[in-house]
Each structure stands twice: as structure tokens, then as C-alpha cells.
Amino acid sequence: MAETQEKIVYQRPHSLAPVVTNYCPGCTHGIVNRLVAEVIDELGIEGETIGVSPVGCSVMMYNFYNCDFLEAAHGRAPAVATGVKRVHPDKVVFAYQGDGDLASIGMAETVHAATRGEKITVIFINNAIYGMTGGQMAPTSLPNQVTQTSPYGRDVSTAGYPVRVCELLSSLDGVAYLERVCVDSPKNIRKAKKAIKRAFQNQIDGVGYSLVEVVSTCPTNWGMTPTDAFEWMRNNMLPYYPLGVYRDVVADGFANAAEAAAARAAECPIAMAQNPQLDEIHAANAARVEGGDR
């Protein structure tokens, strides 16, 4: 009998816990959860990573990962992540949020964490609907999209227009990297993973705030099969939310978000002024970190 050599081609990432998730069949959360775990494994940072889960379908994420985790109030994940990151600037902190959490109730936290240039990584799942509460209109629901709370289709004359998060955040100086991806095919999944890895690597390198928006589906609340849902997403969501890189300060030739911001403010005297007092404080605090006094 010929000897067979065993070769592992696919296995559960170490940072992903061997538990059953609460996600529906065909839901993209499962794919994206796994991609994040693969990235954590590949970067070898499970022991240094602290995750923040939102309120929404991914609320139980703290059970799905093997790294330290916090569960945040609805919309507050960027603020919670800020608190953790300020205490442990050398650790990797990521927030994982859906569209209602990130772009509706938590919009202020999102915008301000971004403009502060918090060195955190945000994974944003945009499936144009509130999943956990049973299919209500989201800030990213499309015009005429039928949901439980837009039963005749989203009426833009009364409900207004969807929020394009990457476009909105791209104007902010604290932001280092924004990319919109989707996970409807092996090719796109590979691209999404690459983007997620960049968003984590940026944090490790201190480049600035990074967010990856994953245009997703909700077969259950959209009332479609998973494949029909992807088809609907490709036909309707991608024209409204085009895939691509919306900001990348490194590709633009800057070392980090701060350098890009300075270039943009070059004509503003006060923004470009020397500040010896702050220089002194920064130097003293750098010395503290060096001396392990923090």
C-alpha cells in the first residue's frame, strides 16, 4: 500500500474559536469573520489583538475569536476601541460594525475616531439592512429598497438618501486607508482579505485610521437565496457603492496620515507652525514609553 502524505490545505485559523456562530446560512459575516482571523494568524498577532464587537448580528463575535474582546454598546465601538488603544498603544485594536451601528447610531463616533486619526482598524459590513432586529431600513438602504420600515420602498423624499461611508470619510485628515470590497467570489474574497490585511498592517506600522467596507448581503431579511442575494448586490449595491480604494496615504507617497494632513494644510500658517511645547511633551512621553514607565 502506497504511503500517503498528509497535507493540510484548509483549516480553522487558530484565532477563530471552534464554536458554532449565530449567523444565518449564506451570510457574509461568516466569510469576513474568517478573513479577519486568517489575517490575525498570518500577522502572528492573536496575543496582541483586542477586538470590539458591535450590536447587531455580529454582537456575539467575542465568542467566535480566541483573542481578547470587548462588547460595545450600539454604535460605540470606535469610542470603546479608542479607550483601549489609548491605554495600550502598542496593541492591535479592531472594531467590527454593521451599517446601522457604524453609519446611523454610531456616526458621530465613527467620524470622530476617523478624524482623530485613531490608530485602529475598522471592519464595516454594509448589507443595507438591520439584520438582527428583523429587516428594518438602514442608513445604507437603497432608494426604493423595501424593508420592514420602508414597506413601499425607501422614499428618498422623506427618508433621505443612503450614506456612502468611504466617500464621506475620505475627506478626513486622520484617515490613512479606506477600501470598499465585497466577498461574492473567490477572487473578490482574496481582494477583501488583502484589504483587511492592509488595514491591520497600517495599524501595526502606525500609519493611521484604516477602514474596510465590505458590501454584503442579508439573504434572510432580503428574502432571497444566497446566490440571488449576491446577484441583487451586484446589480443594485455595487453601482451605488462602487468598489475600490477611497484613500491610501501610503500609495499617495506619504509615510502616514499625519504627513498627508500636513501637506494638505501647507498654506495654513498656524497648522504648519512649530510648537516647541508639544514637541517637548511628545519627547518626554516617548522617553517614558522607552523607559517602560507607562
Partner 1 sequence: MSEKVLMKGNEAIAESAIRAGCRFFFGYPITPQTELAAYMAKRMPKEGGTYLQAESEVAAINMVYGAAAAGARVMTSSSSPGVSLKSEGVSYIAGADLPCLIINIERGGPGLGSIQPSQSDYWQATRALGHGDFQMVVYAPATVQEMADVAYGAFDIADKYRTPVMILGDGMLGQMMEPVELPERKTDLPEKPWATTGHGNVRQKNIANSLYLDAEELEKSNIARYERYDQIKANEQRAELVDCDDADIIIVAFGASSRIARSAVRAAREEGIKAGLFRPITLWPFPVDALEATKAHAKAYLSVEMNMGQMVDDVRLVVRDAAPVDFYGRVGGVIPTPAEVLNKIRQINEGLGE
Q: What residue ranges bind partner 1 (CB under 8 A)?
A: 46-50, 52, 59-60, 62, 65-73, 76, 79-88, 91-92, 108-109, 111-112, 281, 284-285, 288, 293-294
Q: Which residue has the cell 448581503?
A: 217
Distances (CA, A) of 207 to 53, 210, 261, 275, 284: 23, 8, 12, 22, 22
Between 190 and 282, whose beta carbon lies closer to partner 1?
282
SS3 state of residue 172: coil
Nearest distance from C-beta of residue 278 to partner 1, angstroms: 8
Q: Which is nearer to partner 1, 83 or 153 (CB)?
A: 83
Contact yes or no for 2/36 (Cβ under 8 A): no
CB of 19 to partner 1, least distance (A): 12
Kindly state the cell numbers that stand for 75. 454604535
Q: Are 247 and 178 in contact (CB under 8 A)?
A: yes
Shortest spacing between CB 80 and partner 1, in angstroms: 4
- Beta-bridged to residue 51, according to DSSP, are 69, 94
Nearer to partner 1, 80 or 229 (CB): 80
In angstroms, what is the minimal distance from the CB of 187 to partner 1?
A: 33
Cβ 79 to partner 1 shortest distance, Å: 4
Is residue 96 within 8 Å of residue 64, measured between CB atoms? no
DSSP-derived secondary structure letter, 47: G
Number of H helices, E strands in the chain: 14, 7
